[in-house]
Chains A and B, each alone.
Chain A
């Protein structure tokens, strides 16, 4: 892990999507995103929150540079080195946990020391196992380790804690807070769980239904990660009110 590199870079993550459409099965274009504009300061943790099917994953794929077919602009921080955690772990089943992490490393860092990272995520005992032998929680941890191991300039996470039981998800959230605090990497996190977003983030972005745009944007008072349950609940009520208002006035 290269802490200095990701911390030292002060450029924000900027994404503007004027329009993004898919061709539906019968050949008519369906507009998924319109007038979307996001700016995430260097070193901060932003959450995209929106209803299922609103195009969150589409936006994340564009932010990852995996889908160049959109109208707009993407500015990635630093050299643009990306760490990404997909909704499914997307590990190579025929490679061990350690190989899965190391294969993502750039060639000059192939022998990087992973000890700390592996220790924080509790993967030490599992490095030689194949993904088919892991629980979903461990597979997700491996995917998170892979994303941090590359020393990313920015980090994207697509609902990485869905379908985990709450205890495991809570532990993984704490580990994610520890890692992002330590590396100060600019992070964009996609979720439909408002409490999760409030617990983890510096800044919240609420999305509308299709065609998706940001309807409410709010910064949360620091420090993130340690907010108590009461604080999360009251912030949650406040946000829900704001979103309801914005939706009503937009309609």
Chain B
């Protein structure tokens, strides 16, 4: 309940300020609401959101998969870590915009470039978190699994992944929010559709109502994904922990 009150208060403050200012530059919640409804009905909003969501999901999946594998390998092998770490530092300090521009120039103004550019931006963060996770793996459980001749697959599934679960969920939570923000930039620069594209054209028209309506719709969508997908998965992963009495 406190979450609902707090959100309602935010909307109320917005409504009061907008009513006082009476400016075209800050439309009130009602105006934005009707814009959202109109765009929903015309199919524009769902179309662009679907484009953006598709890019978010693909680049997130690529970054998580490759980042987890690479981070795990670096956490397990000191030699590999020593050689790969400078690359990681270069990658992590590369400005997102530079990666995006190079992806578009080298690969072309297409979907592959857009998705790869976002994935490469997120990749080093996943690697850093997963490397920490791999370093924290319990050598005693590892030894137990070796003594009982666990197969490689069941070692990963029953011994390694449960220990990495907190790191996976930390990097996927921060990842999801970073990825969708970068996807908008990628769309703004070089895609003919998606929320970022719409925000770009609304900016050139000073159409604040549309900017707000798309921003709010996308935030709501990400909140829904967070509470319907990420949180239940997390609860499932930690159900073995003893609940506080």
Contact = CB atoms under 8 A, between A and B. Distances in A.
B106 interface: no
Interface in B148-192: 148-151, 154, 158-159, 162
Contacts of B141: 90, 92
A64 B147 CA distance: 7
A192 interface: no
Contacts of B242: 130, 132-133
Interface string A64-99: 111000000000000001101010101011110001
Contacts, number: 49
Contacts of B140: 86, 88, 90
A84 B240 contact: no
Given A93-B240, A94-B240, A133-B242, A82 B159 contact: no
B24 interface: no
A122 interface: no
Interface in B56-97: none
Interface residues of A, number: 24
Nearest to A67: B143
Given A66-B143, A88-B140, A82 B158 contact: no
A8 B84 CA distance: 52
Contacts of A132: 240-242
Contacts of A150: 148
A103 B162 contact: no
Nearest to A82: B147
A94 B236 CA distance: 11
Q: Is the interface of B mostly helix, strand, loop or mixed?
A: helix
B147 A94 contact: no
A65 to B, nearest CB: 8
B149 A86 contact: no
Given A130-B240, A132-B241, A94 B162 contact: yes
B77 to A, nearest CB: 18
B242 to A, nearest CB: 5
Contacts of B146: 66
B158 A92 contact: yes
Nearest to A99: B158
B144 interface: yes
Interface residues of B, number: 17
A104 interface: yes
Interface string A158-196: 000000000000000000000000000000000000000
B237 to A, nearest CB: 8
B155 to A, nearest CB: 10
Given A130-B240, A132-B242, A103 B158 contact: yes
Given A86-B140, A93-B240, A132-B240, A146 B148 contact: yes
Interface in B204-245: 240-242
From A64, A84, A92, A130, name the one whose CB has the most chain B CB atoms within 10 angstroms: A92
Nearest to B157: A103
A106 interface: yes
Contacts of B147: 64-66, 82, 84
A83 to B, nearest CB: 8
A65 B149 CA distance: 11
Interface string B113-144: 00000000000000000000000000011011
Given A66-B143, A94-B162, A82 B240 contact: no
Contact of B144 (A86, A99, A106, A133): A86
B107 to A, nearest CB: 41
Contacts of B149: 81-82, 106
B151 A84 contact: no
A206 to B, nearest CB: 26
Q: Which 10 A-B pairs have the closest CB atoms?
A: A104-B148, A94-B162, A90-B144, A94-B240, A130-B240, A84-B147, A132-B242, A64-B147, A90-B140, A103-B158
Interface of A: 61, 64-66, 81-82, 84, 86, 88, 90, 92-95, 99, 103-104, 106-107, 130, 132-133, 146, 150
Given A88-B140, A95-B240, 17 more contacts: A61-B143, A64-B147, A65-B147, A66-B146, A66-B147, A81-B149, A84-B144, A84-B147, A90-B144, A93-B240, A94-B240, A103-B150, A104-B148, A106-B149, A130-B240, A132-B240, A132-B241
7 contacts: A82-B147, A84-B147, A86-B140, A90-B141, A92-B141, A103-B154, A132-B242
